[in-house]
Amino acid sequence: MSPAAATRLVARSLVKRFGPVTALDGVDVDIEGGHALAVLGPNGAGKSTLLRILAGLAQATSGELTVTRAGAAAPGRGRRAARAGVGFAGHATLLYPELSARENLIFHGRLHGIADPQGRADALLADEGLATVADRRAGTFSRGMSQRLSISRALVHDPGVVLLDEPFSGLDRRAGDRLSLRLRALRDEGRLVVLVSHDLARASEIADRAIVLLAGRVAHTASAGELGRDALEDAYARALDASLPPVPGDAGGTTAGPSA
C-alpha cells in the first residue's frame, strides 16, 4: 500500500448554517486513499460548502472532521491538521497573475514548508507539460493552462487528499480529457480524490463512488460499481428536478438527463 493509500477522510454529521440558511444538514463522508468520490447535485445543494469544510477553509457549525494520514502518530483532528494533507483546487485557480508559473508553485511550496520548492516546481511543471512556459506570467495563460497549473499548485506539497471544485468548468473537450486522465492518475497513485461536479459523465470517468446532495442533505449514495448506472442517473435527475421550480404548463418532470 502506498503511503497516500493509508489516508482516510471521515466527516460525521456535518452541519453548516449561514444565518437562517442551512447549507449542509448532517452530511457524512468516509473515503480512503486510492478512491475518488464525486459530489453531485444542483446549484445551491451545498457541494462547494462541503468541499471547503473538508479543505479546512470553512468551519462546520457542528459535526466532526478527521483526516488520518500515513505516518501520522494519531488521526489529525482539527482544521490545521486537516489542511496539512489537503490539496485544494476551487472554481478559481488560486494563482497570482503577476507571478510566473514557476514562481506561483515556488511560493505555495514555501507556504507549505517543502524542502526544495524550486525542484518540486520544476518537476510539477514538467509533469503537466508546462515546462516551456514556466517563466511566463500566470495571468497570460489560457483557461486550460491555468487549470493545469492550479492542479500542480494543489499538489505542490504532495497531499494525500485532493479536493476539486468543478475542475472541468470552462475547459474544452480536449483539455477536459487531459484533466480527466490526470485526475485518474492521481487516484491510481493512491491519493484520495473528492470531486465536485455538475457533469455526471466526467465525474464517472474519475470517481468510483458518488453522493448526490440536495438542499444540504445526501439524497443518494452510489457505491463502487454503481456509478454511471441508471440508479445514480435517476437520483441525479430527481435532484435536479427537485431543485427547479415547475415549468408552467408542464405537468411532468422537465429535467433532461445529466449532461454527457
Partner 1 sequence: MRVLAAILWKDLITEWRSRDRVVAMLVFSLLVVIVYHFALPEGTGPDIAVHTPGLLWVVFVFAALIGLNRAFAMELENDALAGLALIPADRGWVFAGKAVANALLLFLVQGLAAAAFGLVFDIDLAASALPLAGVFALGTLGIAPVGTLLSAMAVRTRFREVLLPILLLPALFPVLAGAVEGTAEVLRDGGPSFASVQLLLVVDGIYWIICFIGFDYVLDE
Q: How far is the CB of 11 from partner 1 (least distance, A)?
A: 16
Q: How far is the CB of 84 from partner 1 (least distance, A)?
A: 4
Q: How far is the CB of 134 from partner 1 (least distance, A)?
A: 16
- In the chain, the N- to C-terminal Cα span, in Å, equals 34
Q: How far is the CB of 58 from partner 1 (least distance, A)?
A: 4
Q: How far is the CB of 101 from partner 1 (least distance, A)?
A: 13
Task: Give whichever of 139 and 257 is closer to partner 1, judged by the CB atom.
Answer: 139
Q: How far is the CB of 99 from partner 1 (least distance, A)?
A: 7
Mind spelling out the 3-state secondary structure of the chain?
CCHHHHCEEEEEEEEEEECCEEEEEEEEEEEECCCEEEEECCCCCCHHHHHHHHHCCCCCCEEEEEEECCCCCCCEECHHHHHHCEEEECCCCCCCCCCEHHHHHHHHHHHCCCCCHHHHHHHHHHHCCCHHHCCCEHHHCCHHHHHHHHHHHHHCCCCCEEEEECCCCCCCHHHHHHHHHHHHHHHHCCCEEEEECCCHHHHHHHCCEEEEEECCEEEEEECCCCCCCHHHHHHHHHHHHHHCCCCCCCCCCCCCCCCC
Say if strands 209-214 and 192-196 run parallel, antiparallel, or are unpaired.
Answer: unpaired
Task: Give whichever of 56 and 258 is closer to partner 1, judged by the CB atom.
Answer: 56
C-alpha cell at 256: 433532461
- Exposure class string for 154-180: b at 16+ Cβ within 10 A, else e: bbbbebbbbbbbbbbeebeeebbebbb
Task: Give whichever of 44 and 253 is closer to partner 1, judged by the CB atom.
Answer: 44
Task: Give whichever of 97 and 119 is closer to partner 1, judged by the CB atom.
Answer: 97
Task: Give whichever of 112 and 178 is closer to partner 1, judged by the CB atom.
Answer: 112
Q: How far is the CB of 111 from partner 1 (least distance, A)?
A: 5
- Interface with partner 1 by CB under 8 A: which residues? 52, 55-59, 80-81, 83-84, 86, 88, 90-99, 103, 107-108, 110-113, 153, 157
Task: Give whichever of 107 and 253 is closer to partner 1, judged by the CB atom.
Answer: 107
Task: Give whichever of 169 and 254 is closer to partner 1, judged by the CB atom.
Answer: 169
